[in-house]
Structures are given as structure tokens and as C-alpha cells.
């Protein structure tokens, strides 16, 4: 084949607030090929696609470096409309369909075909009547192109999820002059047979000369359906190959990458962990957390252990701590030091000595409008009746005690603030995280669960938070469970790491397990 | 120094500066018109304290997350019912009479408030609309009840026909003016000077302190947290819906105490449609005081009620002087009071 590329993105670099998310990335896609774009969460896939689509988020943050060529011609895409004009389409992961409209209307929305009417002569183009027949014909054609056998006049509401995905695709290929379609994790929400069908349709579309960029986490799909592959890691292209030249294991290995950096210096390990001394035990644990469903997890976490839970986004790793804390509906058995937890009762985990630092810092973790001191003592006050004056049935805030404790915590965790009365909403991410941690520690927990402890905080604060967790574990023997998307931090801290995929634990690995093993466990299911 | 001024300005906020400026302007314009400034200020003081507790009822409601309680009429009718029952019992001691009125009113209000809170838990996101309708509906419902409740005391029912309760019921035989007269004094000449209703003001402050203490109690803090971040509150093992019900019931109970305080100062119980718009006035006052639909404090209540009621108390006599002998003053009164409400509602976001 010649070196004719439909899309050629060259030396793309992008930084957000001094944070380099893409470094000299090249992406070349030939017409009619299915090109897989693979990478961990945060590897830069979304940013690259946002650049391709000229999303406002790119241009409002200073644009990007590098060039984009379409059919060998350099283009400058600064708005999604321009991207559409150049024939680039996107099939979204969440369906952007209007439930009350028919299939035709959804396919044709924004590009309706109209014909003049009496009113339009008087009031202009906005009053033209719609040419439903022509629109229905177009919709019919688009649907049959992708082999979907449904009537174009039925309403979208009530259709199976799989069909909605196909209607999205039909809408994209109905656009005249479509040359490139981006599929962003199209199979994530589909059943197995639906997914297979979708992949077949992708092949059909590709055979018509339309190029496809295929973003997915399922490596078997990549191996079976893609023609070539680009793997991103930490904002850089690690490889670009034809699919026949690479194995699944190689893909997994390259995706994870050997990260040698040591994030924390651990103190000497004097702990003795025993398989019979179990701090937290999960049996057949299910959590109904939207986007992070847990479908039957069995885990035994030993007392005094630092246990990591990793996995890709949307696979259910976040559902585990949220389910234990009772924030989402959970089923199954949770035992804390052999004592069964009443999952239907809110706060029962807290009352039994588990403290939780949420991944959703601003939503769940903090009262942004309140002071640092109130945030720190809130849970202990509510659950354990601390920091209160007890006047018969009346329990009033003991301001003096609160202040003392807050000052101690600010000092201990090095929270940078103007004082204990500063509102947490005005703190930086790292300091907010320290406040969350302080709140959890104020509970004096036996088991501490931290979810995404370093998300959105700078490297210095990251190190401090992780080292403090290690210190708690080594010096106080606290059992710590870390849920994180950052494999490197799990590896540098944990004794064991459970990899969650498809709502189940696909493997429990040692922190020094080979990349391929972890990569495959992540992509399983 | 400049920084200090800027900080003070940020704390007070532009809307309050504008309204306070307008208040002073109207007050000054009363001087050349020959109005008695002392009387005007006395009126301001009285109205401030008599409306204060009703406005205070907004604090637990806003803090617990249901937003400004337009349905405060629910508490108001509970209080009116309590007062009516107290009169029906013909209690001789005015202190006992007002005590019984408040206790009965509060008890009814708490029961209704719990039901109302349960209703509001089912309509999260549109509490303001629903509470407005609850407020209107309960007035309409009570219009029927006032006509048919089996009260027999001659002070309460129409003298002719002996059925149904009067529009306005004089409190002169029971607790009318009780709090106002307690420890009261006049600055300057009797009848012309500045009358200070000490008892009323003290009672208002007492209730303020109680609410302030409540908001600093374990329950009060949990309730405020439930209002500002339900997700956070849940993660600390607190039942958010229960907190919202407590806040709503507390707000309704304050409404009952508030209307009795108001009535004793006014000297009459006003039934039927009289309380229809009171909810709006209370909401307006607290918003002018710097509250938002998500956050309100006691100082918002004290400042807001003073500005809102003060402006009404001063503006009306001034307009009467400027435009005598027409019904324009009444029209302008409506324009001013509703204008303030509109202005206050437009300021629900963006400033504190």
C-alpha cells in the first residue's frame, strides 16, 4: 500500500496548566481501515480525540502544538462544526438520542430536509415543511447500510440499548461525505452478541472506504477486528503497528509499561501478616453503582495489610468501597473482623471502624462551603458523638476541642491554609485531599479505605499523602485499602493488588508482577 | 485601611448597601414633609421584631436544603389555630394564654411540618414551586375550616348567626400587646417619641439565640450538611431525608410561634386570606438580608427583616404625604413591597 493517509496528525503536543498530557503524538489512519487506539485511563486518548474534533476545551486552554492533515491537506479544526464539515463523525459512548422522537427524526435531527410552503414564502426558511418521505428514505438507507432491520418510524424510547448504538451509527453514516468515524468504547455497554454485531458493522462500514478510529479496552476485539494499532502511554505513542505484527500479550505489556519510578520510600517492614487474621472479608458482593457495577466479588483482606484495588475505569473498582460504605445499594456479605455488616443500614461501616476517603472529593468528600475544622470533625461528631458538650439530650458543638484537634491535624498533615476557619472550597486539590484524610483519621478507624488518593493533586502532595498512608500502616498497624487507577502507586505501596474487570476480581497479583499479567487481567472479560 | 473597607464591603454586599441607602434617603425625605421621625423609627423597630421570628423560620428550611419556605403559611395557620384554641379556653392570665397558644400552635405545626417535609422529600428539585402551592392550598383549606370548626367563644365567632369565625379577632381580652408592653419605654415625649417594645425585641432575640444554638447542635450541623451536600452527609452515615424533615418541621413550628408573636403585637388574629402573602414577605426579607436559596444565617434574618420592614414602615407614610387623597399610595405600597421581593429573588444567587 502507498503511504496515502486519510488522517495524519503530526507531532501533537498539548498541556493543561503546565501538565503535559500529549507529547509529540503521531496518529496516521488510512482510508477504509479500522485503527485501534489503545491506552490506559489518562493516557491521552480523549485529549487526542478532542483535538481532532476541535472541542472548545482544547481551544479555551491555549490550543495545541502540531499539525492535522486530512487527505494530505493541512487543516485547522477549531470547532466541532468544522470537524463535521471535514467529514469526521463520532459515535458516542453515551447515546445522544431523543427518546420521544422516531428513528428517522433522530437520524436527521439538525440536518432535516425541507421543502418550501406557503408560510415559508412569507416568513422565510424557518417555516418550510419537512420532507418526511425523503427523510424516511434516507434513514431507511442508512439503517440498511449497517444491516439494522427496524422500522424507521418507531420511537427510540423503549428500544434495546444495542439498537440505540446502531441508530447513532446510522446517523453518522447518513451524513454526506463522512470519511472518518470515531468509535469511543462502543462495546462497553453492549451484550456479547450485540457487540459482535457492532464489530461486524464496523467492518462493513470500513469496507465502504470509511476509516474508523476504534477506542476500546477489550484487547481481543482489537486483535480480531482492527487492521492497525496505536498504543498511547502517558501522553506518548509507544508503538504503531499493523495488528498482525503484534500479540495480545505484547499489547497488554505496552499499554501498562514498565514504570520503575519509586513513589515512596517505605519504612522497614516489621509487620507479620497472617491469613487467619482477616480484617475485611467480602463474599459474593454486588453493588449497584451506575457505571461502576460490582458483580460478585470475593476478597479477604488481612489485618495490617495495604491492599490495592486496581482496574480500568468503569469496571467496578470504585463500586467496591462505595458499596461497603452503604452509599450505593449493595448485596452479599461484608464481615469486619468476623462481624457481619448490616448493608441496609447507612453508616454501619463507619460505626464498625471503617473510614472512607471518597474519590469524589468535591462532591462526597467535602463540605466545600464550610470551614476546614468542621470538615475534619464532622464524621467523628456525628458517628461517635465526639467534640460535643452533652447537656442532657442537647448536644452542642465544643468549639474549643474542635479548634485544638483541627490545629493538630493541620500541623500533622501539613495542610497549607490561612487557618482552621478557611473554607475548604478555596484550598488546592492536594490540601483538600489532606482534609479528607484528616476527617477519616479523626474517626480512629481500624480499616481505612482510600479511593483514588492522588487524583488531581500535584506530585509533592501525592508523595506526602502516600507516605503518610504507609506510615499509618507501619506505625499504627492500620489496615489500608487503596483503590486507584494509578497502577504505579498501587505497586509502590501495596502488599497485594486485586485487579477488577467486568465487576469481578480477575486476578490478585503481587506488586512486582509482570506488566503483561496485570495488563491481561485488566482487559479480561 | 483600604483592605479593611473592601472586606467590610464584601461582607455587607451591594444589595444591602443599596437598600440601606434607599431606606436612609426615604427617612431623610420625611423630615421636610413634616413627618415625625421618632414615630417612623418606632414603627420600624416594632415591625422588625414582630416579623422577625417568621423570617427566622426560613433559616432551618434553607439550611436543611428545602430552600426558602414559601409554605410557611402551614406554620402560620397552626399558630392561628393554637391562638384560637387558647382564646376558646378563656384563660385569664395573659402569659398563660400566650404560652398555651404557642404550645398548641407548635404541636400542630410539628405534626403538619413532618407531613410537609415528607411531601417535600418526594419532590426534590422543585421544592420552591411545591412549597408555594402548599402555602396557598392550606390557606384555601383553612378558609373552609374557619367557617366550620366548632368554636363557641363569642370573641371568635360572628355575633350574628353564631357560626363561623370572624375575619379579625381582637386580642385585647387576652394577650394583645403583651410582649410589646413588657419593659417598654419611650424615648422623648410620650405618644410622640420613639416607642421601644423591649419585651418583643427581647423575645425575638431569645428565639434567635435558640435557633443559633440549634444550628450549632449535633442535629443542626448534620441538618446544614444535608442541605449543602447530600452526598457528603450520606457518606457520614446520616439520613438526609430525616434531616430535611426535621428542618421543615422546625421551620413550620417557628412559623407558628412567629405568627402568635406577630398577632400579639398587631392586637388581632387575622384569619382567612390574611396570611396568604406572608410567606413571600418572609422569603424576601431573608434574601435581602444576604441569604441565598442554599444558605442562610441568623444575621441575614436580623439585617434583612430590618431593611425590608423598615423600608415599608417608612416609605408608606412618606408616599401618603407626597400623594394624598387618592388610592395611589396603596398601589405604590404594592409596587414597593413586591418590587423588593422581586429584587431579592433576583439576588438569590451570586452574592452573600
Q: How far is A384 from chain B (nearest CA, A)?
A: 11
Which of A370, A382, A385 lies at the smallest CB-CB distance from B238? A382
Query: What is the pLDDT at residue A261?
Result: 57
pLDDT score at A263: 63
Q: Say yes or no to pLDDT of B199 above 50.
A: yes
Query: B232 and A381 in contact by Cβ < 8 A?
Result: no
Q: How far apart are alpha carbons A358 and A452 in whole angstroms?
A: 8
Distance CA A215, CA A39 (A): 9
CA pair distance B105, B86, nearest whole angstrom: 9
Residues of chain B with pLDDT > 90: what percent? 39
Q: Which of A267, A317, A263, A262 is nearest to A477 (CA)?
A: A267
* Residue B349, min C-alpha distance to chain A (Å): 14
Of the partner residues A351, A356, A374, the one whose CB lies closest to the CB of residue B235 = A356
At B352, the pLDDT band (50, 70, 90 cuts) reads very low
Chain B positions touching A391 (Cβ under 8 A) are none
Q: Is A391 on the interface with B (CB under 8 A)?
A: no
Are A382 and B217 inside 8 Å of each other by CB? no
DSSP per residue, A132-154: HHHHHHHHHHHHHHTT----TTS
Shortest distance between the Cα of A400 and any Cα of chain B, in A, equals 13
| Interface mutation target, options A328, A364, A380, A435, chain B, most CBs of B under 10 Å | A364
Question: Whose CA is closest to B51, among B292, B273, B264, B352?
Answer: B264
* B237:A363 CB<8 A: no
Name the pLDDT band for B348 (thresholds 50, 70, 90): low
CB-based contact, A379 to chain B, within 8 Å: yes
Model pLDDT for residues B101-130, shown as the tens digit of each residue: 999 999 999 999 999 999 999 988 888 889
Cβ-defined contact of B237 to A326 (cutoff 8 Å):
yes
At residue A1, the pLDDT reads 42
- Selected residues 205-224 of chain B with any CB under 8 Å from a CB in chain A: 213, 216-219, 221-222
User: Does B350 score more than 50 pLDDT?
Assistant: no
**How many of the other CB atoms lie within 10 Å of CB of A189?**
17
Among B residues 56-85, those touching chain A with beta carbons less than 8 Å apart: none
Q: Which of A351, A367, A397 sits opposite B237 (nearest CB)?
A: A351
ipTM for the whole complex: 0.80
Question: Inter-chain contact A378–B216, Cβ cutoff 8 Å?
Answer: no
What is the model's pLDDT at position B109?
95
Q: What is the pLDDT of residue A262?
A: 60
Task: Point out the residue among A358, A365, A382 whose CB comes nearest to the CB of B237.
Answer: A382
Does B10 touch chain A if contact means CB atoms closer than 8 Å?
Answer: no
CATH class (in words) of the domain with range B12-346: mainly alpha
Asked if A346's CB is within 8 angstroms of B216's CB, the reply is: no
DSSP string, A439-498: HHHHT--SEEEEESTTTT--HHHHHHHHHHHHHHHHHH--EEEEE-S-HHHHHHH-SEEE
Question: Between A327, A370, A374, which is nearest B234 by CB?
Answer: A327
Q: Which of A369, A432, A438 to substitute to test the interface with B, most B CBs within 10 Å?
A: A369
Whether pLDDT at B244 is above 90: yes
CA separation for the pair B98, A478 (Å, rounded): 59
Q: How far apart are CA A404 and CA A158, in angstroms?
A: 58
Q: What is the pLDDT of residue A264?
A: 67
Inter-chain touch A346–B218, beta carbons under 8 Å: no
Ranges of residues in chain A with a pLDDT under 70 are: 1-3, 18, 41-42, 93-95, 161, 188-189, 191, 257-268, 458-459, 525
A383/B229 CB distance under 8 A: no
A-chain CB neighbours of B213 within 8 Å are 396
Grid cell 398555651 — which residue? B100
Q: How far apart are CA A354 and CA A443, in angstroms?
A: 8
Per CB-CB distance under 8 Å, the chain A contacts of B296 are none
Q: How far is B228 from chain A (nearest CA, A)?
A: 7
B-chain residue closest to A385, CA distance: B218
Task: Please name which of B8, B13, B9, B4 lies closest in space to residue B289, comparing C-alpha atoms.
Answer: B13
Mark yes or no for CB contact A363/B236 under 8 Å: no
Q: Which of A346, A363, A369 sits opposite B237 (nearest CB)?
A: A346
User: Are the C-beta atoms of B187 and B169 separated by less than 8 Å?
Assistant: no
Facing B236 at nearest CB: one of A360, A383, A385: A383
Give the distance between the most distant pair of CA atoms in chain B: 71
For residues B326 and A12, which has the higher predicted lDDT (pLDDT)? A12
Helix ranges (DSSP H) in A38-176: 45-52, 56-59, 80-85, 103-108, 118-123, 132-145, 161-174
Amino acid at each position: 500500500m502507498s503511504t496515502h493517509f486519510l488522517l495524519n496528525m503530526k507531532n501533537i503536543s498539548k498541556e493543561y496548566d503546565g501538565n503535559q498530557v500529549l507529547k509529540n503524538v503521531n496518529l496516521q489512519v488510512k482510508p477504509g481501515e479500522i485503527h485501534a487506539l489503545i491506552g490506559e485511563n489518562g493516557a491521552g486518548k480523549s485529549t487526542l480525540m478532542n483535538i481532532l474534533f476541535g472541542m472548545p476545551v482544547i481551544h479555551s486552554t491555549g490550543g495545541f502544538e502540531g499539525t492535522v492533515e486530512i487527505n494530505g491537506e493541512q487543516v485547522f479544526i477549531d470547532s466541532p462544526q468544522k470537524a463535521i464539515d471535514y467529514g469526521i463523525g463520532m459515535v458516542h459512548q453515551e447515546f445522544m438520542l431523543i427518546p420521544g422522537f422516531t428513528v428517522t427524526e433522530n437520524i436527521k435531527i439538525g440536518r432535516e430536509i425541507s421543502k418550501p410552503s406557503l408560510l415559508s414564502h412569507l416568513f422565510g426558511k424557518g417555516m418550510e415543511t419537512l420532507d418526511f418521505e425523503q427523510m424516511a428514505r434516507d434513514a431507511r438507507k442508512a439503517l440498511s447500510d449497517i444491516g439494522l432491520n427496524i422500522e424507521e418510524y418507531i420511537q427510540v424510547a423503549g428500544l434495546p440499548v444495542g439498537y440505540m448504538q446502531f441508530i447513532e451509527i446510522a446517523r453518522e453514516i447518513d451524513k454526506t461525505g463522512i470519511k472518518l468515524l470515531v468509535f469511543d468504547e462502543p462495546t462497553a455497554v453492549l451484550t456479547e452478541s450485540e457487540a459482535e454485531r457492532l464489530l461486524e458493522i464496523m467492518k462493513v462500514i470500513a469496507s465502504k472506504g470509511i476509516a474508523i478510529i476504534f477506542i476500546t479496552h477489550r484487547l481481543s476485539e482489537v486483535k480480531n477486528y482492527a487492521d492497525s494499532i496505536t498504543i498511547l502511554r502517558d501522553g506518548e505513542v509507544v508503538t504503531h503497528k499493523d495488528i498482525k505484527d503484534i500479540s495480545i500479550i505484547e499489547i497488554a505489556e505496552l499499554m501498562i509499561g514498565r514504570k520503575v519510578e519509586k513513589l515512596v520510600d517505605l519504612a522497614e517492614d516489621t509487620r507479620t501478616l497472617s491469613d487467619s487474621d482477616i480484617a475485611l472479608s467480602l463474599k459474593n458482593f454486588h453493588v449497584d453503582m451506575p457505571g461502576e457495577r460490582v458483580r460478585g466479588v470475593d476478597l479477604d483482606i488481612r489485618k495490617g495489610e495495604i491492599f490495592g484495588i486496581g482496574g480500568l475505569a468503569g469496571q467496578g473498582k470504585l463500586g467496591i468501597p462505595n458499596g461497603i460504605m452503604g452509599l450505593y445499594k449493595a448485596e452479599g456479605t461484608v464481615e469486619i473482623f468476623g462481624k457481619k455488616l448490616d448493608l441496609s443500614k447507612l453508616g454501619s461501616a463507619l460505626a464498625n471502624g471503617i473510614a472512607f476517603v471518597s474519590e469524589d472529593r468535591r462532591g462526597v468528600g467535602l463540605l466545600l462551603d464550610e470551614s476546614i475544622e468542621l470538615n475534619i470533625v464532622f464524621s467523628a461528631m456525628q458517628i461517635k458523638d465526639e467534640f460535643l458538650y452533652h447537656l442532657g439530650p442537647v448536644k452542642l458543638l465544643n468549639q474549643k476541642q474542635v479548634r485544638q484537634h483541627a490545629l493538630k491535624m493541620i500541623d500533622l498533615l501539613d495542610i497549607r491554609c490561612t487557618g482552621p476557619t478557611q473554607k475548604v472550597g478555596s484550598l488546592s486539590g492536594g490540601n483538600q485531599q489532606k482534609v479528607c484524610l484528616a476527617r477519616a483519621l479523626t474517626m480512629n478507624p481500624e480499616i481505612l479505605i482510600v479511593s483514588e488518593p492522588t487524583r488531581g493533586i500535584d506530585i509533592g502532595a501525592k508523595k506526602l499523602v502516600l507516605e503518610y498512608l504507609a506510615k499509618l500502616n507501619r506505625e499504627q498497624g492500620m489496615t489500608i485499602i487503596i483503590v486507584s487507577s494509578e497502577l504505579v502507586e498501587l505497586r509502590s505501596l501495596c502488599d497485594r493488588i486485586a485487579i477488577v474487570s467486568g465487576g469481578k476480581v480477575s486476578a490478585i497479583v503481587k506488586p512486582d508482577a509482570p506488566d503483561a499479567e496485570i495488563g491481561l487481567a485488566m482487559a479480561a472479560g | 485601611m483600604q483592605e479593611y473597607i473592601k472586606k467590610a464591603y464584601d461582607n455587607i454586599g451591594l444589595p444591602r448597601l443599596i437598600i440601606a441607602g434607599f431606606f436612609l434617603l426615604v427617612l431623610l425625605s420625611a423630615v421636610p414633609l413634616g413627618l415625625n421621625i421618632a414615630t417612623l423609627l418606632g414603627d420600624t423597630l416594632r415591625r422588625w421584631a414582630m416579623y422577625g421570628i417568621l423570617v427566622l423560620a426560613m433559616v432551618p428550611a434553607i439550611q436543611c436544603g428545602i430552600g426558602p419556605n414559601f409554605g410557611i403559611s402551614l406554620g402560620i395557620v397552626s399558630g392561628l389555630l393554637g391562638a384560637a384554641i387558647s382564646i376558646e379556653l378563656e384563660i385569664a392570665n395573659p402569659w398563660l394564654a400566650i404560652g398555651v397558644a404557642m404550645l398548641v400552635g407548635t404541636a400542630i405545626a410539628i405534626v403538619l411540618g413532618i407531613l410537609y417535609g415528607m411531601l417535600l422529600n418526594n419532590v426534590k428539585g422543585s421544592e420552591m414551586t411545591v412549597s408555594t402551592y402548599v402555602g396557598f392550598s392550606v390557606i384555601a383549606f383553612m378558609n373552609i375550616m374557619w367557617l366550620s370548626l366548632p368554636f363557641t367563644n363569642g370573641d371568635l365567632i360572628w355575633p350574628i348567626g353564631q357560626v363561623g369565625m370572624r375575619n379579625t379577632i381582637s386580642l385585647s381580652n387576652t394577650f394583645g400587646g403583651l410582649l410589646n408592653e413588657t419593659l417598654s419605654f419611650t424615648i422623648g415625649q410620650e405618644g410622640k417619641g420613639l416607642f421601644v417594645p423591649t419585651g418583643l425585641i427581647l423575645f425575638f432575640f431569645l428565639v434567635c439565640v435558640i435557633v443559633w444554638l440549634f444550628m450549632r447542635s449535633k442535629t443542626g450541623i448534620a441538618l446544614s450538611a444535608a442541605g449543602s451536600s447530600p452526598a457528603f452527609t450520606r457518606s457520614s452515615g446520616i439520613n438526609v431525608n430525616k434531616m430535611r424533615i426535621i428542618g421543615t418541621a422546625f421551620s413550620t413550628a417557628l412559623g407558628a410561634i412567629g405568627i402568635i408573636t406577630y398577632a400579639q403585637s398587631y392586637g388581632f388574629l387575622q384569619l382567612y386570606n390574611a396570611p396568604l402573602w406572608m410567606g413571600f414577605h418572609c422569603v424576601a426579607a431573608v434574601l435581602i438580608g444576604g441569604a441565598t436559596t442554599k444558605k442562610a444565617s441568623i444575621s441575614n434574618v436580623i439585617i434583612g427583616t430590618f431593611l425590608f420592614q423598615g423600608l415599608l414602615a417608612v416609605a408608606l407614610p412618606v408616599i401618603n404625604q407626597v400623594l394624598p387623597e387618592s388610592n395611589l399610595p396603596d398601589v405604590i405600597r404594592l409596587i414597593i413591597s413586591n418590587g423588593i421581593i422581586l429584587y431579592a429573588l433576583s439576588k438569590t444567587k451570586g452574592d452573600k
